[in-house]
Amino acid sequence: MPSALEITTFKIAKGLGIKDFIAANANIDAWLKRQKGFQSRHIAELEDGSIVDMLIWSSAANGRDAASSIMEETADSPVHAAINQRSVVWRIAEVRHCVLA
């Protein structure tokens, strides 16, 4: 089954923590569930405080389509202010191999 991983890493805005960031994502999570090809989202925090936000899509095209419209369609979301925008690194890649439990 074709699928893609969207991996974004970044720092949370100064003065906020992971709980603040997750709370700010409520409307983004709802928006993602309405996007074609969306399968799941996983948010993790690294030891240095960096955030890894990983989404699984049915195809890279679905992920790119969503990425191209998220800022406009969710412009009023508090999540944008919760991210240090200068620290964002975004990538999407087709899955070439997968092992399931």
Q: What string of DSSP letters covers 19-52?
A: HHHHHHTHHHHHHHHTSTTEEEEEEEE-TTS-EE
Query: pLDDT digits over 15-58, tens only?
Result: 999 999 999 999 999 999 999 999 999 999 999 999 999 999 99
Instruction: Walk me through the domains of the chain, giving residue ranges and CATH numbers.
Output: 4-94 (3.30.70.100)
What does the angle CA 85 – CA 44 – CA 9 come to, to the nearest 5 degrees? 30
- pTM for this model (two decimals): 0.92
